[in-house]
């Protein structure tokens, strides 16, 4: 069995030590970086399966490191942040973080999220077709079936659903969704989103009043499950 490689970018010695031990003993190969700069370098050389990035780095803004990584690195990046720092987290998600954890975190939770993120990596690979509960989506044919019968979706509705499905389980901020679907310059038109989430829900949810697929994350955005 080949181990998955995890790159940890954190300036605090204790955390590096702690996580190195934890992750190694759970059969991951661990690479350590003390700074954002070093992290970017090591990511390029080792192409890890997952990156753990502490947002509170001293040398560069962690968000900058995240942005730079995301220009070419498309595997999972989990962000570590101190205590409920909402704005940091929202910004990180906007910048392409896969998930986040607030310190101090429980080891079990960390491992669970790592597993989930790596699993998603593999799924994410090329495939024009995917099934999802009672939904089947064909990305190339631009069609969606629910329990076998074709749903009639407008292009915007389809794009939105596709975006949700590509980011299954992730919290997508309003801004992020608006940027992806309507382009930059429409990041404040949250009303569009409310309308289209409404129509999508009517079409894909079994019970429109207690949605199981498109979950609203109050104050932040939506999550597709």
Q: Binding residues for DNA, per CB under 7 A? A: 152, 154-157, 174, 182, 189-192, 194-198, 201, 208-209, 216-220
Q: CA nearest 160: which of 178, 147, 146? A: 178
Contact with a second copy (CB under 8 A) among 2, 25, 122, 125: 125
Tokens of 106: 């429980």
Cα Rg of the chain (Å, integer): 19
For 6, 60, 136, 203, the CA distances from 50, given in Å and listed in that order, are 5, 20, 28, 35
Contact with a second copy (CB under 8 A) among 1, 27, 122, 126: 126
Going residue by residue from 31 to 70, which x/- string records binding to a second copy, judged by CB under 8 A? ---------x--xxx-x--------------------x-x
**Are 96 and 68 spatial neighbours (Cβ–Cβ below 8 Å)?**
no
Name which of 73 and 196 has its Cβ closer to a second copy: 73
Q: How far apart are CA 44 and CA 38, in angstroms?
A: 10
Residues lying near a second copy in the complex (CB under 8 A): 12-15, 17-18, 40, 43-45, 47, 68, 70-74, 82-86, 103-106, 108, 124-126, 155, 179-181, 183-184, 218
């Amino acid at each position: 069995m080949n181990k998955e490689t995890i790159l940890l970018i954190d300036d605090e010695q204790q955390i590096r030590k702690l996580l190195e031990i934890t992750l190694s003993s759970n059969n991951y190969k661990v690479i350590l970086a003390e700074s954002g700069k070093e992290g970017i370098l090591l990511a390029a050389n080792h192409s890890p399966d997952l990156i753990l990035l502490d947002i509170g780095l001293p040398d560069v803004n962690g968000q900058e490191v995240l942005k730079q990584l995301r220009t070419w690195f498309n595997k999972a990046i989990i962000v570590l942040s101190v205590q409920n720092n909402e704005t940091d987290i929202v910004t990180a998600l906007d910048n392409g973080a896969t998930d986040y954890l607030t310190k101090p975190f429980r080891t079990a939770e960390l491992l669970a999220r790592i597993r989930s993120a790596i699993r998603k990596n593999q799924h994410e690979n090329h495939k024009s077709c995917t099934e999802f509960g009672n939904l089947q989506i064909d990305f190339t044919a631009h069609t969606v079936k629910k329990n076998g019968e074709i749903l009639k979706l407008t292009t915007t509705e389809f794009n939105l659903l596709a975006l949700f499905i590509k980011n299954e389980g992730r919290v997508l901020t309003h801004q992020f969704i608006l940027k992806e679907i309507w382009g930059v310059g429409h990041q404040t038109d949250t009303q569009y989103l409310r309308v289209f989430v409404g129509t999508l829900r009517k079409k894909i949810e079994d019970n429109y009043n207690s949605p199981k697929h498109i979950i609203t994350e109050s104050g932040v955005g939506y999550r597709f499950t």
